[in-house]
Amino acid sequence: MNGAPHIEIRDLTMAYGEFVIQRDLNFVVNKGDIFVIMGGNGCGKTTLMRALIGLQRPARGTVFYGGEDFWSVEPDIQARLKRRLGIMFQGGALWSSLTLAENIALPLKEYTALSAPRIAEIVSFKLALVGLGGFEDFYPAELSGGMKKRAGLARAMALDPDILVIDEPSSGLDPLTARRLDDLILELRDSLETTIVVITHELASILGIGTNSVFLDTETHTMINTGNPKEAVASGDPKVRHFLTRGAE
């Protein structure tokens, strides 16, 4: 590529009407990063994600993917950039009228030339990866909250995206499943070279898999660049240390 950073967020300000959620965000996500966006409830993590993935135009500033300004290019280029993203929403966002298998098969049918039996094999593999092997014919309404979440991740991974954006993967998961999900995220990065942007406040995940991070502060409505979370917890900004140690420091 042209040496431009993989993802760059420049001067981003997000607001709902007059109500500014976060201002002047600047950071870079490199290829192969597991980039953690952290912060307290309601600090604007999901809102930032919506700006990243093209669902909500930021009030100011923009997002670059490989040097291309997402918010000012033509819609067809936007569509091409979006194809590189796989997104898992906070609530799963599975299509309720489709079975799990159909949920995952839909992007594959839409964007690949694979035959139906190949798609079925891929679907079953993706479900097995998130520990839902055998649930192909279930409808989302028949799953538990944590299962929906994992199925949402399987759908996000359907096309082996370049960049996987995950909103709160581990909240609502039991500790073993959460751990397995972290391992999966690591493996996806290592084997398929997926770049991962993960929104989470699960301390074990932040410290376990994060390679780079930002902290969105609710009070000042702006970010603190925190680098590798493992270092931030030892020697970072006091506010971040307070957060990462559950208020102990």
Partner 1 sequence: MTITRPQNSGEKQWRLDTRRIDDDLLEVSCGGRWCLDQDLPSAGVILAEGGDGLRRLSFNTAQLSAWDSGFLAFLRALLKLCAERGLTLEQAGLPKGVRHLLAMAAAVPEQKVARRSSVGQSLFFQVGAATVEFFRGAPEMLHFLGEITLSLGRLFSGRARFRLSDLWWEIEEVGPRALAIVSVISFLVGLILAYLGADQLRLVGAQIFIADLVAIGMVREVGALMTGIIIAGRTGAAFAAQLGTMQVNEEIDAFKTLGISPVDFLVLPRMLALMLMVPLLTLYAAFVGMLAGMLVSTTIFDVGMFEYYTETLRALDVTHFLVGLSKGSVYGGMVAYAGCLRGMQCGRSAESVGKAATSAVVTAILLITISASLMTIIFYRLGI
Q: Which parts of this chain interact with ligand ATP (CB under 6 A)?
A: 16, 21, 39, 41-47, 90
Q: What does 122 bind: Mg ion, ligand ATP, partner 1, none (CB cut-off 5 to 8 Å by kind)?
A: partner 1
117 interacts with partner 1 by CB under 8 A: yes
Q: 């291309």: which residue's tokens? A: 68
Q: What is the largest CA-CA distance in the chain?
A: 56
Q: How far apart are CA 136 and CA 158, in angstroms?
A: 14
69's contact among Mg ion, partner 1, ligand ATP, none, with CB below 5 to 8 A by partner kind, is none
Q: What share of the chain is helix, strand, coil (3-state, %, to 5)?
A: 40, 25, 35
Selected binder of partner 1 within 4, 42, 84, 112 (CB under 8 A)? 112
Among 30, 97, 220, 245, binds partner 1 (CB under 8 A): 97
- How far is C-alpha 15 from the chain's CA centre? 20
From the list Mg ion, ligand ATP, partner 1, none, which binds 41 (C-beta under 5 to 8 Å, kind-based)? Answer: ligand ATP
Binding residues among 143-202 for partner 1 as defined by CB under 8 A: 157, 159-160, 180, 183-184, 187, 190-192
CB of 144 to partner 1, least distance (A): 12
Minimum CB separation from partner 1 for residue 141, in Å? 4
- Cα 33 to Cα 92, 94, 119, 242: the distances in Å are 23, 27, 29, 24
Which of the stretches 3-11, 19-27, 126-134, 234-242 binds partner 1 when contact is defined by CB under 8 A?
126-134
Q: Which of residues 22-61 bind Mg ion (CB under 5 A)?
A: 46
Is 23 among the residues that bind partner 1 (CB under 8 A)? no
Q: How far apart are the first and last CA of the chain?
A: 43
- Residue 199 near residue 166, CB atoms below 8 Å: yes
Check binding of 139 to partner 1 (CB under 8 A).
yes
Nearer to ligand ATP, 60 or 83 (CB): 60
- 108 contributes a contact to partner 1 by CB under 8 A: yes
Radius of gyration of the chain (CA): 18
Which residue is listed with tokens 């300004």?
69
Task: Classify the C-alpha dihedral 182-184-187-193 as positive or negative.
Answer: negative
Contact call for residue 137 and partner 1 (CB under 8 A): yes
Q: And the tokens for 173?
A: 């998961």
Q: Can you tell me the distance from the alpha carbon of 212 to that of 200, in angstroms, rounded to the nearest whole number? A: 13
Question: Which parts of this chain interact with partner 1 (CB under 8 A)?
Answer: 96-97, 108, 112-115, 117-118, 121-122, 124-126, 128-129, 131-135, 137-141, 157, 159-160, 180, 183-184, 187, 190-192
